Amino acid sequence: MNSANAQTIALKALAFIASDEQLLGAFMAACGCSPREIKDSALDPAFLGGVLDFVLQDDKGVLDFCETAGIDPNQLRRARHALPGSPGFDT
């Protein structure tokens, strides 16, 4: 998967997180970001990798997001590997 496709999936994941107040609160607590910082970082590939890390930490979250986004869970993992911060990321 290329970086552009991975970023698109991560942006969908960010929108999924933002659509749920409780999930957004947990994400902000985990990353230590304010809503403004999230908005300012939304196009940073490394930040988007962190978004996918957050979603991937919970199997139910993975399945809920993938169902909502209409993507295969394996695509989510491939997207994570295509963004900075992933083991084996190739620059």
How many Å is the Cα radius of gyration of the chain? 12
pLDDT at 91: 47
Question: What token pair was written down for 65?
Answer: 């997001």
For residue range 37-56, list pLDDT tens digits in order. Answer: 999 999 999 999 999 999 99
For residue range 60-89, list pLDDT tens digits in order. Answer: 999 999 999 999 999 999 999 999 876 654
All structural domains of the chain with their residue ranges: 3-81
Kindly state the helix (H) or strand (E) to which residue 88 belongs, with its residue range.
none
Look up tokens 């933002």; give the residue.
Answer: 18
